[in-house]
């Protein structure tokens, strides 16, 4: 079974608003990554946060990690129509696999 679960499953916002999506996972992790996937395309790596980090920023992206709650959130500020995509969290362990969640489908309305 997949490691992570994203919440909400779908999110629709107006351009310019902020979008927040959450990821919960089940076991201990080494790092957590967020990916974006446009419809029918491959995944694009957005940002990585390590288990000893609590917050990380990259451009309009802000990621938080709470290992005690086994959860992470991705905030996209000042959303654009081009941000419309599915967003997945992936947990990395000390092993070699990455476990992906079920994804949040984000629609940004121009």
Partner 1 sequence: DTGVSQDPRHKITKRGQNVTFRCDPISEHNRLYWYRQTLGQGPEFLTYFQNEAQLEKSRLLSDRFSAERPKGSFSTLEIQRTEQGDSAMYLCASRRLSMRGALTDTQYFGPGTRLTVL
HEC-encoded secondary structure of the chain: CCCCEEECCEEEEECCCCEEEEEECCCCCCEEEEEEECCCCCEEEEEEEECCCCEEEECCEEEEEECCCCEEEEEECCCCHHHCEEEEEEEECCCCCEEECCCEEEEEEC
Q: Which of 26, 41, 54, 80 binds partner 1 (CB under 8 A)?
A: 41
Q: Does residue 34 interact with partner 1 by CB under 8 A?
A: no
Q: Which of 33, 71, 72, 79 binds partner 1 (CB under 8 A)?
A: 33
For residues 17 and 55, which CB has a smaller minimum distance to partner 1 in the complex? 55
Q: Does residue 44 interact with partner 1 by CB under 8 A?
A: yes
Q: Which of 11, 72, 92, 108 binds partner 1 (CB under 8 A)?
A: 92
Nearest approach, Cβ of 29 to partner 1 (angstroms)? Answer: 11
CA nearest neighbour of 22 among 81, 82, 87, 79? 87
Q: Which of 29, 63, 84, 100 binds partner 1 (CB under 8 A)?
A: 100
* Interacting residues with partner 1 (CB under 8 A): 2, 4, 30-31, 33, 35, 40-45, 48, 88, 90, 92, 96-103
């Amino acid at each position: 079974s997949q490691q992570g679960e994203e919440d909400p499953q779908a999110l629709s916002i107006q351009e310019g608003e902020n979008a927040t999506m959450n990821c919960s996972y089940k076991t201990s992790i080494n790092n957590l990554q967020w990916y974006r996937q446009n419809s029918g395309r491959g995944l694009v790596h957005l940002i990585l946060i390590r288990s000893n980090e609590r917050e990380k920023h990259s451009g309009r992206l802000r990621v938080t990690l709470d290992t005690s709650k086994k959860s992470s959130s991705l905030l996209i500020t000042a959303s654009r129509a081009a941000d419309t995509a599915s967003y997945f969290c992936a947990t990395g362990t000390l092993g070699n696999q990455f476990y992906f969640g079920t994804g949040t489908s984000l629609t940004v309305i121009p």
